[in-house]
Structure 1
Amino acid sequence: MSWLKKILYLCLIGLVLAVFTVAGAYWYVKDDLPDVSLLQDVRLQTPMRVFTADGELMSQFGEQRRIPLTLEEMPPQLIEAFLATEDSRFYEHPGFDVIGMMRAAIVVASTRDAKQGASTITQQLARNFFLTREKKVIRKIKEIFLAVRIEQLLTKDEILELYLNKIELGHRAFGVGAAAQVYFGKTVDELTLDEIAIIAGLPQAPSVLNPVRSPVNARNRRNIVLGRMLAMNYITEQEYREALQAPVISRRHGAQITASAPYVAEMVRQQVVDMFGEDYAYSAGLQVYTTITKPIQDAARRSLQQNLYDYDERHGYRGPQTQLWTAVANGTEPEPAWQETEILNYLSEHTTLEDLHHAVVVAVEEQEARVLLADGRQQTLPWDGLKWARRFINDQRQGHAPKQAADILQPGMHIRVRHNGDHWQLSQEPEATSALVAIDPNTGAIQALVGGFSFAQSQFNRATQAKRQAGSTIKPFIYSAALEHGYTLASIVNDAPIHHWDQGAGIAWRPRNSPAVYDGPIRVREALAKSKNVVSVRLLRGVGIDATIQHLRNFGFAESDLPRNETLSLGSASLTPLELTAGYAVFANGGFLIDPYVIERIYNEEGELIYQHQPKIACRDCLERPEPSANGQAHADGDAEAQLAQLFASLDPVPEKPQSEASNQAVRVLSEQNAFLIREALKSSVWGGGNWNRGTGWNGTAWRVQSLQRRDISGKTGTTNDSKDTWFAGFNSQLVGVAWVGFDDANRSLGRATWNANLGRDQSSGVEAGARTALPAWLEFMRVAMKDMPADQVETPSGISSVRIDLETGLLTRANDHTSSFEYFLRGTEPSQYAQPGSPAFSFDEDDPSTELLELFD
């Protein structure tokens, strides 16, 4: 009994000491313990996600990838796998596991190895939220006390849900939802048992156990997890054995992007960071909805890329990326072909760019070649996929058309191929680049935007950052200024070469038409549709440079981008595609300056709306209609002095109804009548004029747009000197689109393409220009974008009249045949005289500005 008493006394003393030790430890650390009540309102850091207007995921931004899930959304096997591996008595202990701690102590004492862990899920949660990973006794004490507090504050299910969403699982994946996406590209409910076991095995050491970095380590750890699940009867023997046999197949997956619009996503990222700051933008779970839709954006991307392929193929094949072995002797012995395994290992080091696949030529027949792709498939390149590939010499010259596959390819060549929808074909990464923008002209909402061939190739957004010379796309704005200063669409201007001596420079400036065809006296409408350079110069002279620049500023163009000389009339102004698109929107919407935007609304992680864009809307019925301008009235009077006075008069302000700062009405910068007249003139750029049966028919520069079979489209081509920049701008009242093609090196010309005998009529050859190089991208995009768009119902604004004119003189006519046509006029500017047979010939005096505008008089 004495020994029993001694044992009882020792136990009592030990218990008292233990109580005092725990109390002392708590007293020592209590001031350093954080407030675990924060877990009741915890905000898990989640990335910013960017969506299209129709709800497709465009991109995700943030250091930590997390997909928060409720416990009910997680598969039972996934939860059981973590319980079996990390804390089998989770639902039994008060936050710390005494049995587990004793087991760990025994392991440490017997092996002197402290690798055996004893932390419960609650302790791990406490450490992940409040503590560091340093292996010190004091940290372990804090961890235990915090775990007890957490157990008192939250239910077991709440603790487990927080843990499974918070745990770090490697490759910036936090939580099981993100891990399923990152490692397997799946949602948690799509995971197989072996994949679940791999994820459940990661918390021990995510950096070395993840299946991307080390499939072997991941498999070994998976098998341990499966063994514990079997021991706890969470899975059957058959499930265990099947999962053990499954191969470890994993690669790093990004977010499940369903809409490809990286240039738009980057624009959004920059704007959101500017609005909220980086910390909040990247971790607050913002959901940003944009103005673009997936079908329209996809059409823009595909059209731009295909157009670049077409341009690139017109100019010839630049050759393979490298020659892996030489199968044809050139004075030396042929080299042995690589084995398939060697080729696949080589190709695995190269990543696909857009739809361009890396491949190696393994056999060449008479008019086809066989290639091996990185995924192990062999594909045949038929002659239709090869015959374009004549040799590239330079931007201006190409070699002879090939006659057989061996003229192009040899076994051992590392090449690029793509599938064009019908067959595989030889291809190459385009050197030229492009941009395409489309906006709603009534609100400024960006409908589609592509800033280059590939964001992976270059993150430079040419749609918003590349200021390039506008070429002839500037002319509608020059003509608009002319209409404000007395000209009409029927005014006759001399389309003849200009020889202007610059006294200061000591040289003559000789602007020329392209092509160098001169029609002599020509109506303003026809000159704009045919893009006559010298007419644009004469109109600029008639209006004056200062007045013209002031007018162009109304379209949102910065004065610093507008050269103060006559080259302005030919497009020497430097503008971005987006700026030019916004300028054309003024014509499309009837005279209002809108502000392009791409972010429609933003929600926080709770789904609360925290930002809604309020666009300035072009509303024609919201303002008082301006009175018709009196400009040009002197034409009807036939007063030459008054004509000259009006030509050089300053621009009259456009009347508008006063607006409050809170109004969502866009500012009117152009009269409705002026916008209407330019729209109508630019329709002639598409449909031309005259009578083909009578031999007087003519095409505008945008005649290819006729294939859309829409009479509501206005358009303008643009090409700069030496074809360094090519443009097309086209629109109706519902959509404005601009396409640009060029090289990033602004000094490099797009050149010309000669006829390829292999392609027959299915090609475009000649000098690269807006109509040939940029318009096709716009055209193919609009086939999709305007497919279900109803045609504009043309309304003639008040203050506009229509009279029949003589097509040669621009005067009134009584004829009703191919020599005449109806023309629109600002009321009061209609011609007052009739064309007479045998009228005197035109005469011009280059030194007399009055001859820039011609009228015939009786």
Structure 2
Amino acid sequence: MSENKKKKKKSKKKSKKKTLKIVLLSILFIILTCMVILGAVILGMAKTAPSVDVKTVTSLSEPTKFYDDKGNLIDEYLTVERRDPVEYKDIPQNLIDAFVSIEDERFWKHKGIDFKRLAGATLGNVKKLLTGKKGFQGGSTITQQLIKQRYFLTDSLTNRLNIERKIQEMYMSLELEKILSKEKILETYMNTIPLGGTAYGVKSAAKQYFNKDLKDLTLTECAFIASCAQSPSVSYGAAKYAYDKKQIHESPRTQAILTKMFENKYLTQEEYDKAISPQLKYSFNHNTRNKMSYEWFSRPVIEVVMNNLKEKYNYSDNEVNALLANGGLKIYTTMDTKLQNKTQDVLNNNIYSSQKNLQAGTTIMNYHTGEVKVIVGGRGEQEALSYNRAASNRFLRPPGSAIKPLTVYSPAIDTKVLTAASIIQDSNLPHDMQVKYSDNGRLYNPQNADRNHYGNVTLRYGLKHSLNVVAVKTIDALGEDKRGLDISMEYGKKFGLQLDNTDHNMPALALGQLDAGESNGTNPLTLSAAYGAFGNNGKLTAPRLYTKVVDRDDKLLLETKTQSRQVISPQAAYIMYDLLKGPVSAGGTGPSAQFGNMSVRGKTGTTSSNKNLWFSGLTPYYSAAIWVGNDDNTSIHGLGSSTVAKLWGNIMKEAHIGLSDKTIEKPEGIVEKPVSSLTGNLVNDFSSMLKGSLTYKEYFIDGTEPTTIEENIYTTARVVRKSDGRYVLATEYSDPKLVEEKVFIKREYTSRIDDSQKHILLPTEYDDAKSNQIPEKKEQDKPNENKKEQNKNNENNPSIKDDNNKNNINNNPNNNKPEKPNNGIEPKPSNPDTNINNNI
């Protein structure tokens, strides 16, 4: 029995050992299997890592650069990140030692991974995980940090698990150390690491915190910059606070780095003792703020380039921003740097006003090619991203009378409804017209700026003197009912004006009193392009702010070409170009725009209450527009549109240095006829004898020239010229040697001439020779000799007629029949003062 028991015990022991062995082998198998699987997973993760490319690692992010029209560097695209690369040999040894001491003390010994540090960090993190403590410790080397920056911060990898990213980071660090030297790795790392504020890289940090070059940093300052790597935003905030409070900053982490440097034998005891005492004084360089050198020009360029890149390559906003910020693009702009600087100087220093914050904006462009040479969006020192008053569609203002060539006179000439010689009666609107354009039951009866009326005038005269009534009646003549407003608005939009339904009214389209909303109005760039069409055969050329964009390898990404569209006929454009010399000539509203011998064309603009002042015009080379006003849309004191015209002339004078005057080419389909400025008709024998300002040669689109000969508004008389130049009627006592027969205008047509022409009115005063009393007149001394005989002669001469038909509008080229007279009855305005528009 005892032997059996012993056998059973031995059998049980063997069974237990066998079971234990099986269990241990199973566990070992499971562990080995897990290790194999884990190894395979790790290997798989590592193998899916991106290839380590030297160019990807070492090429620094380069911001986009801007060049002017002569290829000179003018600007850089500013982002939150400010980088300023530096070579390893130019980095101070103290700065290198500081980074190595605190970030990777065995950097010079490991092959990409510091296993000792990794094990310590892992053990410490496990303890914290078990105890519920926060603040896990990192074990990454400088090489790993660089790999992370260059490969694992992109959008395409954000969905990867952290463990996968860590394994790939370690694998790629080992690979990187095989192909790059330690010095190159450290150089790239120190040029790319974020160090607080807008500083990326040690050179930018030195400028930002201490306004110093790297070589001038003290040991303590080097330690501080290295300290920023752990928590850039905290370091920046603490330093900025100390700077603002004018305090010496105590930085515990800086002192810890100095201690670490001493322990690693990078510092002597003496160097350490000197550096460890608090001595950080900051000198923030405010030039690191996000403002570009040519803010007014470069910002619009960025906006256009971003839109063009998205359209052509279907980029997202993030992709475009990243490309501009880091892609090293080169944008070749159309800006003339010298002219840009001069224009800014003129606006800053040549507007004299008691309103210190009075603002201005201007643009200059070559309307043949579309190249914009100048964009100045404001006066004085401006903050980054502030209002661009010259080129932004987010800053629109009503143009006042500068709108008239676009929405009034161009449609009239282009549609052939009227001609430059058509007669418009400058008088109060007829009652039915006041009712037609009334607003909420209030009759519309606009007045001219000087509140005077000038009788029958030509379109040319109306534009020269910016007569508001003439502008309104011209639009009304474009079509029945309110069709004229429709046509006017169509042309305004073709010229690029931002118009909506609130602008479908006479004050807006005839006088430029647009609703001052965000969606309607204009800016100097739009007006520059619009007026350029008058010198470009009626073609409006789209403004071009850049010619091409290339990448860092000079591969072409974008290129612009001249793009033009026909807005009016070449014939109408040529006539408008000629008409626009009126406002800048003597007696016009903007003669101060003239400079040198250059042909200048243009128009002033003023809105109600003197809130906006404009001048827009062109030469045979360039078009330009200037706006002056207040950002809060309040009235301007002490300035008028003539001031703006003078500014325009001063700026354009600079743009034309070295250029000689030239004429623009006259297109086919233009005829030139001598006409009377009083009637717009072809001259007759009498009017041709008068010549001077009453007759002139006018341009017409072929087929629209007048066919009616000047009616008989003239008479002849025997006169004597006095010593003061006046003519008086001759009497029987007048010296026969002094008596001459001349042509005069009958006095009943006085309203048709201005003060400068009063000398051609039939005199009423008689010669006082040999008598102080008016002698009894003989028949031969009476004007026209015999009225009955003259009237008989007039009846027998169908080409000479009395001016008995005083129409609102005469000489419609599509209808030479006289319109029905209004019987000379002029309606009175219901409230004249409230209907006055001070447009010039």
The letter of the residue matching 1:476 is P
| Cα displacement (A) at 1:71 | 4.5
Aligned equivalent of 2:577: 679
Counterpart AA for 2:364: A
Give me the TM-score of the superposition, normalised by structure 1: 0.62
Which residue pairs with 1:364 in the alignment?
Answer: none
- Superposition deviation, residue 528 in structure 1: 1.2
Cα deviation digits, residues 211-247 of structure 1 (max 9, x gap): 4355756766557767877986799989996999784
Deviations 1:620-666 (A, max 9, x none): xxxxxxxxxxxxxxxxxxxxxxxxxxxxxxxxxxxxxxxxxxxxxx2
- The CA deviation at 1:791 is 3.5
Question: Aligned-pair RMSD on alpha carbons?
Answer: 5.0
| Equivalence for 1:296 | 339
- Rounded to whole Å, the distance in 1 between the matches of 2:217 and 2:691 is 76
| Cα separation, 1, equivalents of 2:261 and 2:114 | 19
How many correspondences in the alignment?
645
Confirm whether residue 825 of structure 1 aligns to residue 699 of structure 2. Answer: yes
Which residue number corresponds to residue 410 of structure 2? Answer: 480
Give the percent of matched residue pairs that are identical in Structure 1 and Structure 2. 25
Q: 1:384 is matched with which residue?
A: none
How far is the alpha carbon of 1:586 from its aligned partner? 0.7
Amino acid at match of 1:257: M
- Distance of 1:115 and 1:547 partners within structure 2: 73
Q: Which moved more, 1:536-545 or 1:526-535?
A: 536-545
Counting only pairs closer than 5 Å after superposition, residues 261-300 of structure 1 correspond to structure 2 as: 261=296, 264=300, 267-268=303-304, 271=307, 274-275=310-311, 276-284=315-323, 285-286=326-327, 287=329, 288-300=331-343
SS at match of 1:267: helix
SS in 1 for 2:295: coil
Partner of 2:4: none
Q: Deviations over 1:94-138 (max 9, x none)?
A: 2234677799999999xx9999986532233345456799xx999
CA distance in 2, matches of 1:782, 1:55: 23
Structure 2 distance, partners of 1:118, 1:466, is 53
Matches within 5 A, 1:774-785: 774-775=644-645, 777-784=647-654
Paired residue for 2:590?
A: 702
1:468 aligns with 2:376: no
Larger % of helix: which? 2
Note the 1:448-527 alignment, pairs <5 A.
Answer: 448-452=374-378, 454-455=382-383, 458-459=386-387, 463-477=392-406, 478-484=408-414, 485=416, 487-501=418-432, 502-503=434-435, 507-527=442-462
Query: Letter of the aligned partner of 1:248 in structure 2?
Result: Y
Question: Of residues 597, 605, 610 in structure 1, which corresponds to 2:557?
Answer: 610
Change (3 A) 1:730 1:587: same
Matches within 5 A, 1:743-762: 743=630, 749-750=634-635, 753=637
The one of 150, 173, 176 equivalent to 2:199 is 173
Residues 20, 87 of structure 1: alpha-carbon distance in 2 compared, 3 angstrom cutoff = farther
Matched, 1:35 2:49: yes
Q: 1:447 aligns with which of 370, 373, 385?
A: 373
Aligned to 2:512: 571
Partner of 2:189: 163
Q: Report the residue type matching 1:598 in the other structure.
A: L
1:668-747 aligned at under 5 Å gives the runs: 668-688=566-586, 699-706=587-594, 708-743=595-630
Q: Distance in 2 between matches of 1:221 and 1:152?
A: 33
**Corresponding residue to 2:146 among 110, 125, 128:** 125
Aligned equivalents of 1:514, 1:46: Cα separation in 2: 59
Unaligned runs of 5+ in 2: 1-31, 515-519, 715-742, 753-802, 819-840
Matching residue within 519, 536, 540 for 1:589: 536
Deviation at 1:700, TM superposition (A): 1.0
SS class of match (2:615) = strand
C-alpha spacing 1:201/1:442, structure 2 compared with 1 (3 Å): same
CA positional deviation for 1:440: 2.3
2:666 is the counterpart of 1:797: yes
**Structure 1 CA distance for aligned equivalents of residues 429 and 94 of structure 2:** 83
The 3 A distance-change label for structure 1 pair 137 and 433 is closer
Inter-partner Cα distance in structure 1 for 2:812 and 2:152: 82
Alignment of 1:322-471 (within 5 A): 430=357, 433-452=359-378, 454-455=382-383, 458-459=386-387, 463-471=392-400
Deviation of 1:495 after TM superposition, in Å, equals 2.8
**1:495-521 alpha-carbon deviations (Å, 9 max, x no partner):** 333343344655542121112233333
Once the two structures are TM-superposed, the CA of residue 531 in structure 1 deviates from its matched residue by 0.8
Q: 1:531 aligns with which of 452, 461, 466?
A: 466
Select 2:641's aligned residue among 764, 767, 770.
770
* Maintained 8 Å contact 1:439/1:447: yes
Q: CA distance change for structure 1 residues 127 and 775 in 2, over 3 Å: closer, same or farther?
A: same
Deviations 1:307-357 (A, max 9, x none): 7x744x15xxxxxxxxxxxxxxxxxxxxxxxxxxxxxxxxxxxxxxxxxxx
| Structure 2 match to 1:51 | 66
1:826-850: CA deviations, max 9, x gaps? Answer: 3756667579634563657676644
SS of structure 1 residue aligned to 2:240: coil
1:776–1:228 Cα change, 3 Å: farther
> Is residue 804–residue 822 contact of structure 1 (8 Å, CA) maintained in 2?
yes
Q: Retained in 1: the 8 A contact 2:584–2:590?
A: yes
> SS at the partner of 2:602?
strand
Amino acid at match of 1:493: I
Displacement of 1:248: 3.4
Q: Report the TM-score when normalising by structure 2.
A: 0.64
Please say if residues 46 and 65 of structure 1, whose CA atoms lie closer than 8 Å, have aligned partners that are also in contact.
no
Return the alpha-carbon distance in structure 1 between the equivalents of residues 494 and 122 of structure 2.
Answer: 80
Pick closer, same or farther for the CA change 1:30–1:240 going to 2, 3 Å.
Answer: farther
Q: CA separation of 1:469/1:108 partners in 2, compared to 1, >3 Å: closer, same or farther?
A: closer
- Aligned-pair CA distance for 1:554: 4.1
Contact 1:49 1:57 in 2 (8 A): no
**Counterpart AA for 1:277:** S
Given the superposition, is the C-alpha separation of residues 733 and 79 from structure 1 closer, same or farther in structure 2, using an over 3 Å criterion?
farther
Instruction: Tell me what 1:414 maps to.
Output: none
Question: How many angstroms apart in 2 are the aligned matches of 1:856 and 1:239?
Answer: 105
Letter in 2 for 1:465: R
Could you say if the C-alpha distance between residues 512 and 221 of structure 1 is closer, same or farther in structure 2, counting changes exceeding 3 Å? Answer: same
Query: Is the Cα contact below 8 Å between 1:48 and 1:281 reproduced in 2?
Result: no
| CA shift in 2, pair 1:239/1:305, >3 Å | farther
CA contact (8 A) 1:25 1:141 kept: no
| 1:33-182 alignment, distance < 5 Å | 33=46, 35=49, 37-42=51-56, 46=61, 49=64, 51-53=66-68, 54-58=71-75, 60-67=77-84, 71=88, 79=96, 82-83=99-100, 86-87=103-104, 90-97=107-114, 119-128=140-149, 145-182=171-208
Task: Find the aligned partners of 1:807 and 1:204 in 2 and give their Cα distance.
Answer: 83
Residues 662-699 of structure 1: per-residue CA shift (max 9 Å, x gap): xxxx23333333222222222221122xxxxxxxxxx2
Are 1:712 and 1:791, in contact at CA under 8 Å, matched by a contact in 2?
A: no
**In the aligned structure 1, how far is the partner of 2:123 from the partner of 2:376?**
64
* Aligned residue identity for 2:453: Y
In 1, Cα distance between equivalents of 2:657 and 2:216: 37
